[in-house]
Amino acid sequence: MPGTSNDPAIPKSPVNSGWSRRNFLKGVGAAAIAADTILQRVEKSAAADTVDPAAVDTPISGSIPITLNVNGRPRQVTVEPRTTLVSALRDRLDPAVTGPKVGCNMGTCGACTVILNGKPVYGCSILAIDAVGKQISTVEGFGTPENMSPVQAAMVEKDGMMCGFCTSGFVTSITALLRTNPNPTLDQVKAGCKGNFCRCGSYPHLFEAALTAAKNGGGRTGT
Ligand code: FES
Ligand code: FES
């Protein structure tokens, strides 16, 4: 079940991960300058993992080309400043990365979960430009139908899905958990999945799959 926004187990929004939409919009509203100059500043800021005040206070207008590192591959994509990461992955990339789903599109359901620099985040609650220079992992990067990751295989074995809409989000959150805690308790699994909803109520199967995956190698595979 979902916890509070302060719960460390819940994927982070830009608000509690260091960036804020308010600060970004402040920049968008200022006087216009060349987009490529802005992008350089944003990329520099992202690479340093710090917020460059110049990038925040300077406007970005129109669509801009950026490079996202998705599942170990650099991917060129053109986005608007307001484009969320999950929208960039699903709607802008060609070929698209559709593992992360859009359920609520407001940071509550977890269907859009991706791993960003090792931490699960809501892809609908972070801007694509904030992901520049960071490692983005989606469910596509964990395994293939022919060579599934331990979490993916356990999800099938334990019948962890009904409609399946939440599944990639759970697989991603569980994979992120097992990469930092290879042998979690049931309570730790529940905490690791607090940011994910399953409207079909498959929680017992999902948690059992997580514990089975831990026994079978956990989150060590994939990008
Ligand atoms: S679609 Fe992102 S949390 Fe629901
Ligand atoms: S299996 Fe349907 S929402 Fe989880």
Give the residue extent of every domain in the chain: 64-140, 142-215
User: Is any atom of ligand 1 closer than 6 Å to the C-beta of 112?
Assistant: yes
What spacing in Å lies between the alpha carbon of 14 and ligand 2's midpoint?
26
1.10.150.120, 2.30.30.140, 3.30.70.580, 3.40.50.2300: CATH of 142-215: 1.10.150.120
Residue 62 identity: G
Buried b (16+ CB within 10 A) or exposed e, 41-80: bbbebbeeeebeeebbebebeeebebebbbbeeebebebb
- Please, is 177 exposed, middle or buried when counting C-beta atoms within 10 Å of its C-beta (0-12, 13-18, 19+)? buried
So what's the pLDDT on residue 152? 96
- Nearest ligand 1 atom to alpha carbon 11: 3
Per DSSP bridges, beta strands 64-70 and 73-79 are antiparallel
Q: Establish whether residue 124 lines the binding site of ligand 1, counting it when its CB lies within 6 angstroms of any ligand atom.
A: yes
Per-residue pLDDT, 30 = 39
Which ligand has an atom closest to residue 87 CA? 1
**Range name among 14-23, 57-66, 137-146, 185-194 with the lowest pLDDT average:** 14-23
Cα–Cα distance for residue pair 15/19, rounded to 1 Å: 6
Of the pLDDT bands very low, low, confident and very high (cuts 50, 70, 90), residue 217 is confident
CATH of 64-140, one of 1.10.260.40, 3.40.250.10, 3.10.20.30, 3.40.50.300: 3.10.20.30
Q: Do domains 64-140 and 142-215 have the same CATH topology?
A: no
- Cβ atoms of 11 and 121 within 8 Å: the answer is yes
pLDDT at 98 exceeding the cut of 50: yes
The three-state secondary structure class of 74 is: strand
Which amino acid, 47? A
Res 222 pLDDT > 90: no
Cα separation, 119 vs 84, whole angstroms: 17
| pLDDT value of residue 219 | 64
pLDDT, tens only, 19-41: 444 444 444 343 333 344 444 54
The pLDDT value recorded for residue 4 is 44
